[in-house]
Structure 1
């Protein structure tokens, strides 16, 4: 039996009602998305060339700072001009290096049914990460714990449209920072059999993640199979630091993909111009993508970014703005121009609660991301307050929104067109289709029926308790968690992972957190 399939064995206690409900629910992960929507391309060929030429000019004449002696020596050996910490990259060298990045590849999960393809038209939804606070099952904003992280990994596991558990969806404050990456990685592995992300908070932490992946999958398997993803953020403008570059080497040497992600705050660390911002971001991403191939030729890598625009009134980052959508369209075109997979951020919200602002911001970005043709669609569930908290209510609603976007991106289904068309003369003028055999056979799949939106009459809504979306979402999350069943993990591998964690926690003093560079 697939670990996602609801089991029907009898249970002790008063759980028969839940068992009956579960027998009608399907938590199986949707296959990786093949996006059939027309791509929105806001630049013509001349504009693409203009961005490319501007980015190459930046790389050749302004240069990029690599604050890392190993990377500087690597670049010297690769033939780049290095002056101090600044690396000047010839466009021919950049083009040659990025040409060896795979245009698509397959991620392997511990449950083979959850393997997914990435690149070209193939996309995945990944939940948010990095929130220092959460809004919990009571909608209370507070510091998260390891149990809260496990809760989000369980919700990720039970959300069909989410293809990953990510990693530290929320920061577990009840565990030392220096050892936290071990418990975060184990939680991702233990509570789901989907793919997961790996921590890059230091080079050694990244090595620990690689070692844990080797325990789970086998060292030789990693050499030829992507199983996790690291994220390496650049310091815009035009700086890559030792922490990120060291983590990048840890992943690339083991043939594991990294997101090469400039951290863009439009108007603050980029010019106050959409095209110029994209030109700078493109140069930053290309410099990191090229370095992945200096580390290991042919290693999978993903053109990344984090996009926000900055309010010129307050300096605060904004979400859901038109410029963010435009930049996503443009970056998608540039990634396709270089024939590399690309990452974006999805349902971002700046609102402080799960209110209409959060919904509008998230929906605007989700629509743009789908029409931009993004591949690795990160921060797809839970993000609010500019990433300062992950909301349980928003998490489950965002996950359903991803399922709706998935359905839209599949395109029209033509398999029963003739049968449906034949119903028209049978019903005739003035009739209705509710009782027609074709409707009876197809009503559950013909149109997406959201569980978390209320479309009943006002009278029925009042009878049901006048519940708004946050209350309905939190009740839904509790039901999901009540139905959760942990996917079996091989006992020997589980013990080996726990032994590794115990050894590394003995080797890493908790107080070391004060001295590590994060």
Structure 2
């Protein structure tokens, strides 16, 4: 039948309707900051027992290898000399530090609209890591990470809605000098994003010069300290139960310049901490509390993320294992303990052992990140882009992980129960009318308000998928990453700011 003789009425606007349905909702149904804490792997009594053991360890065993300047302030605050170079932290000192520590604080973005509140029940996915290899977009194989990769990762994540903050995810292995590495890492963050960012300082003497860079970006001398938009990642405690002098000195410098800190404990079960779950949690909690005491005796009330990151090794081989069930459990339990103490919590998730963007990758990412979020981790580090047991970072993984986070935030949002949502009248209308809910007013409202729609996940029929090239998730994510990197070239520094930074520092 020709188009001229076809008696069927034409459906005007079909393409427009399909395009509208395919477009993402105008309002994000589940933005970052959803409420966590629904998953509690331990009882209240369990938390109390582990906390009591942590206090006992700090008081009786104490901390070793304490730098002299820290020793002096701890003794003055009420710590005890246990002999043999160890210092005991009494329960009263620990609990005074918990009471003094901020329970919430603002993690500023250079764009105030991108700032986030850390603490309470809010959950945010972000990044972390120090990958020395990058999964190449062209070859699909790993190679050494470069400074160019760091710039590319930073501007890629700048476009991702569900990544709340950015910490360098890879090490620029082509930058050899430690000071140049710290400088150029910080510059990549300032140039390519206005989200809250975090970095590390290799040595304490690097802090003051980099604050000069931050001041230039903030608008002048002293401006950064008024509204710090960079957080420091520091590991002042080395498991088992001792301090690290360089990291302690970096902490002193960061507090001096009003830089918020994430004091990260990264014990490994069966290696630097007990292999039993409860024993591990007790020691790791004690070590992170030691960092909290340190910060609060140096500068009471300074913003600190209580970053208790349980790590696991494969006890058969000694290899780091970032994606197993033990990692799921321990990081969820860590978040629960931190929240139980009322402290801003940081945990690690999505540290997939998988090298490829494959089924193993999906299982490990999904399990670890969902559990950490449900347990209420305020800041979930390593959760975007990391592969190969933290040795690798992937552009495709950033794209896919962002979509995963959106689905996780939807889970956290939960079910809103109200008379309107239960919809007695809507059910009656559908049952007595058309016999279905398609196109109903309640359905259309819920479609825009309550559902998160994937941009990359395939929901086509097998036939449509095959006709579209039978592309896998890796292929689709690769294409999306290329699209973003080819089109998104921000420069969040003014020409004068960039010129001032380049005049002061060796920007490579």
Q: What is the CA–CA distance in structure 1 between the aligned matches of 2:438 and 2:385, rounded to whole Å?
A: 37
Q: Deviations 1:16-43 (Å, cap 9, x if unpaired)?
A: xxxx99xx78999999733334532233
Matched residue, 1:110: 110
Q: Relative to 1, partners in 2 of residues 1:367 and 1:55: Cα closer, same or farther, differing over 3 Å?
A: same
Aligned to 1:494: 498
- Does the 8 Å CA contact 1:126/1:376 hold for their aligned counterparts? yes
Please, which runs of 5 or more residues in structure 1 have no aligned partner? Answer: 1-19, 511-518
Does the CA-based 8 Å contact 1:381-1:398 persist in structure 2?
yes
Q: After superposition, what is the alpha-carbon deviation per residue over 1:343-401, rounded to whole angstroms, capped at 9, x for unaligned?
A: 00121101121221111111111111011101111111111111111122212101111
**Higher radius of gyration, 1 or 2:** 2
Structure 2: distance between partners of 1:29 and 1:428:
31
Contact 1:34 1:409 in 2 (8 A): no
Q: Is the 8 A contact 1:29 1:160 kept in 2?
A: no
The residue number in structure 1 matching 2:386 is: 383
1:106/1:226 contact within 8 Å kept? no
Match of 1:342 in 2: 345
- Cross-structure match for 1:353: 356
Q: CA deviation at 1:295?
A: 1.6
Structure 1 residue 480: Cα displacement: 1.8
Indicate which of 451, 454, 461 corresponds to 2:455. Answer: 451
Query: How many residues in Structure 1 have an aligned counterpart in Structure 2?
Result: 483
Q: For 1:385 and 1:231, how far apart are their aligned partners in 2?
A: 21
1:86 matched to 2:89: no
What SS class does the counterpart of residue 106 from structure 1 fall into? strand
Aligned to 1:3: none
Pick which of 68-77 and 175-184 moved more: 68-77
Report if the CA contact (8 A) 1:383-1:390 is conserved.
yes
Equivalent residue for 1:244?
Answer: 247
- Cα deviation 1:114-162 (Å, max 9, x = unaligned): 1110001123221232100010212221112222111110111000011
Cα distance between partner residues in 1 of 2:260 and 2:249 = 14
Structure 2 counterparts to residues 118-137 of structure 1, below 5 A: 118-137=118-137
Contact 1:260-1:285 within 8 A present in 2 as well: yes
Name the CA distance, whole Å, in 2 between partners of 1:29 and 1:211. 37
* Distance (whole Å) between structure 2 residues aligned to residue 458 and residue 90 of structure 1: 64
**Which deviates further from its counterpart, 329-338 or 419-428?**
419-428
**Paired residues of 1:27 and 1:160 also in contact (CA < 8 A):** no
Q: Give the root-mean-square deviation of aligned CA atoms.
A: 2.8
Quote how far apart the aligned CAs of 1:211 are. Answer: 2.9
Tell me how far apart the structure 2 counterparts of residues 412 and 89 of structure 1 sit (CA, whole Å): 44
Deviations 1:30-78 (A, max 9, x none): 9973333453223333322211221111111111124423222322333
Ranges in structure 2 where 5+ consecutive residues have no aligned partner = 1-18
Query: Alpha-carbon deviation of 1:324?
Result: 2.4
Q: Is the 8 A contact 1:232 1:261 kept in 2?
A: yes
Shift of 1:413: 5.0
Determine if the alignment matches structure 1 residue 433 to structure 2 residue 437: yes
User: Which residue does the alignment assign to 2:307?
Assistant: 304
- Local SS of the residue matching 1:304: strand
TM-score (norm 2): 0.88
> Which TM-score applies when normalising by structure 1?
0.86
Shift of 1:172: 1.5
Q: Is 2:269–2:311's contact at 8 Å kept on the other side of the alignment?
A: yes
1:469 equivalent in alignment to 2:473: yes
- Give the equivalent residue in structure 1 for 2:16: none
> By how many angstroms is 1:439 displaced?
4.0
| Rounded Cα–Cα distance in structure 1 between residues aligned with 2:156 and 2:470 | 25
